[in-house]
Each structure stands twice: as structure tokens, then as C-alpha cells.
Amino acid sequence: MPDFKYKGKIYYNPVQLVIELIGGTWKAPILWRLKDRTMRYGELKKDIPHISEKMLSSQLKELEEDGFIQREVFPVIPPKTEYSLTERGKEIIPLIHSIREFGKKMMMEEADKNK
């Protein structure tokens, strides 16, 4: 497959692109939590206890920019913001599920080795 550009960056293969878009510590867990319901910022923060406020905000922004989630702001006091998956976000869930299952299998294998 020839090199291609996506948002100004050169990629050498489509796997590299997808891993960059949903990789890292927090993007897949955020998407996973949104698979069944819309959530507010505070709910996501509470459900992902090790993520910092700054990291959650930046990851949500990147996921929105890449078309995986949508953000809806309600003009009330205090401000209310809800996050949900877009069609692209829903499309990536089976891949995240497969990666998650493979990761769980690897964790169990490692635990068995350490018994």
C-alpha cells in the first residue's frame, strides 16, 4: 500500500493510522464507556479514576476532532455537556472489543505463569 496523508501527517499503512487514532492509555477506555450510553464529563471522570482532568479533556477533544464522539453542550447553569458515540465511534467498538479480549487473555496467561 502506498504512503498516504491524513490530516497533514504521512502514514505508511492503515493499521498505523487506526492505532494512532484510538491508541494510548485513555482513548479506547473512553470509547468503551460510551458504547452503551451517553455520559457527562463528570460521569466519565468518575468511571475512569486514574485519568487526570487535563488528560480527559484533551482526549475527548481529540476523539471529537477525529469524528469518534460528539459533544452536546446544554445552555444551562451550571453548564451541562454530554458525550456520545458517532457512527464512526460505533464502528470502532468491535475492534476495541477484540483488542480488549486479547489483552484479557494475555493477562490471564501471565497470571497463570506467575502462580
pLDDT band (50, 70, 90) for residue 115 = confident
Q: Where are the beta strands (DSSP E) in 25-90?
A: 39-40, 69-74, 80-85
- All domains of the chain, ordered by start, with CATH? 4-113 (1.10.10.10)
Q: Is a pLDDT exceeding 80 seen at residue 1?
A: no
CA distance 92 to 31: 9
Question: Which has the closest alpha carbon to 45: 37, 35, 56?
Answer: 56
Of the pLDDT bands very low, low, confident and very high (cuts 50, 70, 90), residue 57 is very high
Q: How confident is the model at residue 78 (pLDDT cuts 50, 70, 90)?
A: confident
Q: Where are the beta strands (DSSP E) in the chain?
A: 4-6, 9-11, 39-40, 69-74, 80-85
Query: How confident is the model over 14-56, as pLDDT tens digits?
Result: 999 999 999 999 999 999 999 999 999 999 999 999 999 999 9
pTM for the predicted model, two decimal places: 0.90
- pLDDT at position 13: 93
